[in-house]
Amino acid sequence: MDTYALSRRAVLAGLGLGGLAAVAPARAAGSIRLPLPGGPDERALTTAFPGKGEMILQRTTPPLLETPFEVFDEGVFTPNDRFFVRWHWAGIPTSVDADAFRLKVHGHVDRELSLSLDEIARLPRFEIAAVNQCSGNSRGLFEPRVPGAQWANGSMGNARWTGVRLRDVLDRAGVKPGAVQVRFSGLDEPVVDDAPDFKKALEIDHARGGEVMIAYAMNGEQLPLLNGFPLRLVVPGWYSTYWMKMLSDVEVLEKPDENYWMKTAYRIPDVPGANIKPGQTGFKTVPINKMVPRSFVTNLRDGARVPAGGPVAVRGLALGGDCGVKAVDFSGDGGATWFPAKLGSDEGTYSFRRFEGSLPALSAGTHTVKVRCTNANGLVQPMDPVWNGAGFMQNGVETVSFQAA
Amino acid sequence: MTIARIILIAALALPSTVALSAPAAEPMRFKSEAIELPTSERIFPDGPGAEAINNNCVACHSAGMVLTQPKLTKAQWTETVNKMVHVYKAPVDPADAAAIVDYLTALKPAP
């Protein structure tokens, strides 16, 4: 990455590096092409966001920054400075005073709390590895296309989150009998008065289940501001819409939350895999919730070239969703025969899991490799892509096309 | 209490604290954050309705994401503009809203 950054700076400075195109063809102009059917597929690469390395610019204000896919080949955890960024409202505080910050806990509780960061840091520490994936990850790859942030596969990341259990915080406040949900809000706010502030809610038993946590660190460092400094809710196994950034307000509810972001937005068809046909109607909807299994080849990209006549290494990442990864299989013949991949170290139920395998020697020509994850609950990725009008919950089997020569 | 007994108690007590809360670790110390976010200079290209969209839309979000949407139908753009006005409370004059929908429907998404 440093090489790219230096090269681009050199170009910008007018030095004109002749070899740049050969080094990084897709990046010569500081942009990248995403495989979005029908386009527009070109996106700028940016290093302009504080705390962030090179990211794919999907929107400047409020920021939508996608992780370039090659980052996922570098390891099972996603570095903080390459972790995707997604904000709903432009009213993002650009400074947070660590001493003055308070987390408010209120609502249907015995005692309202106003906790400083130091007080939170003195509570029992809890740590978990978990994938944070946008509900709309891969939306740009939907066919037919749907409106919204046109992400490729890079609005996801895996981190080791450190902080405290939400349960421990709720217990200090004393949840009163009759509580049904807990609602979360952060410091960000809409630019326009009366627009719906971004809030999300979880069922009380889920909130108190012992895995939902308030993180003050990711991968051993305090959170980048753009990923929610100083506190972020972590909801292992659930889509990141619930992972409230800059978490400042925890409200225990005695009635189910009916705010816009629960009742209207982030809803999925209440059918298996949220998968419907374009134009289909007559289904109920529910708030998006648990993630589903996915897997990605990370060492080969569409159009890659490998030597013919030798085995082809296949390497990648899988997630089980709301449970662990049971198996990853790959196929070099369009799904007729499958080989089990070797799974890498288990960093935890909700973490990415590395896998690797090898396709038998291939003749010269175009080939494909498909990867398919089966999670610990036995749920298998569908062979065909998922479709729904909001572009949520894509988890169809991925196919990479490459050349043996 | 003998030393052996104290050691035994310590050994029994250790796993629960060590395994879950890494007692050796100091509590997290936090450093205040202050950043400056980049802004976009990009505006919507000329065309009928360009003034309406440039005047009404970029206060809340930059133009880039709109211009990277796939080709969408008038019905889809109407739904989006209605959401911006009625749900997200963008203060858009109805005449401007219609001009914005027409502008967006006429967009020819370029790579």
* CATH at residue A386: 2.60.40.650
For A65, residues 6+ apart whose C-beta sits below 8 A from its C-beta are: A46, A49, A52, A55, A56, A57, A58, A84, A85, A86, A226
Q: Which of A34, A44, A40 is nearest to A70 (CA)?
A: A34
Question: Which pTM value belongs to this model?
Answer: 0.90
Does residue A42 share a domain with residue A171? no
Whether A46 sits inside 8 A of B38 (CB atoms) is yes
User: Per-residue pLDDT averaged across A203-222, rounded?
Assistant: 98
Domain contains A92:
no
Task: Place domain B48-111 in its CATH homologous superfamily.
Answer: Cytochrome c-like domain (1.10.760.10)
Give B-chain residues touching A35 at CB under 8 angstroms: none
Q: Is residue A271 part of a domain?
A: yes
What is the structure's pLDDT at B24? 58
Whether residue A228 is found in the same domain as residue A122: yes
Residues A168 and A281 in one domain: yes
Same domain, residue pair A223 and A355: no
The model's confidence at residue B1, banded by pLDDT at 50, 70 and 90, is very low
| Greatest C-alpha distance within chain A | 71
Between residues A10 and B92, the one the model is more confident about: B92
What is the identity of the amino acid at A114? S
At residue A30, the pLDDT reads: 94
The amino acid present at A395, given as its one-letter code, is N
Tell me which DSSP letter residue B98 carries.
H
pLDDT tens string A111-127: 999 999 999 999 999 99
Which of A156, A36, A173, A60 has the alpha carbon at shortest distance from A109? A173
Structure tokens given for A93:
């505080």
Least confident span in A67-81, A162-176, A349-363, B15-29: B15-29
A201 inside domain = yes
Please report whether residue A208 resides in a domain: yes
**Looking at this predicted complex, what is its ipTM?**
0.88
With CB atoms and an 8 Å threshold, state whether A99 touches B70: no
Instruction: State how far the alpha carbon of B12 is from the alpha carbons of A108, A252, B21, B25, in Å.
Output: 38, 37, 15, 20
Q: How many structural domains compose chain A?
A: 3
Please list every residue in chain B whose beta carbon sits closer than 8 Å to the beta carbon of residue A225: 33, 35
Give B25's pLDDT tier (boundaries 50, 70, 90): confident
Instruction: Identify whether A253 is part of a domain.
Output: yes
Domain that holds residue A31: 20-86
Of the ranges A6-15, A203-212, A307-316, B88-97, which one carries the lowest mean pLDDT score? A6-15
A129 with A254, same domain: the answer is yes
Last residue of a domain, one of A241, A265, A287: A287
Chain B positions contacting chain A at CB under 8 Å are 20-22, 25, 27-40, 42, 59-62, 64-65, 67-72, 76, 80, 87-91, 109-111
Domain co-membership, A122 together with A35: no
A130-186 pLDDT, tens digit per residue, is 999 999 999 999 999 999 999 999 999 999 999 999 999 999 999 999 999 999 999
Instruction: Inspect the interface and report whether the beta carbons of B72 and A150 lie closer than 8 Å.
Output: no
Q: Which of A271, A287, A303 is the endpoint of a domain?
A: A287
Q: Same domain for A254 and A308?
A: no
Domain limits, chain B: 48-111
Whether A8 is covered by a domain: the verdict is no
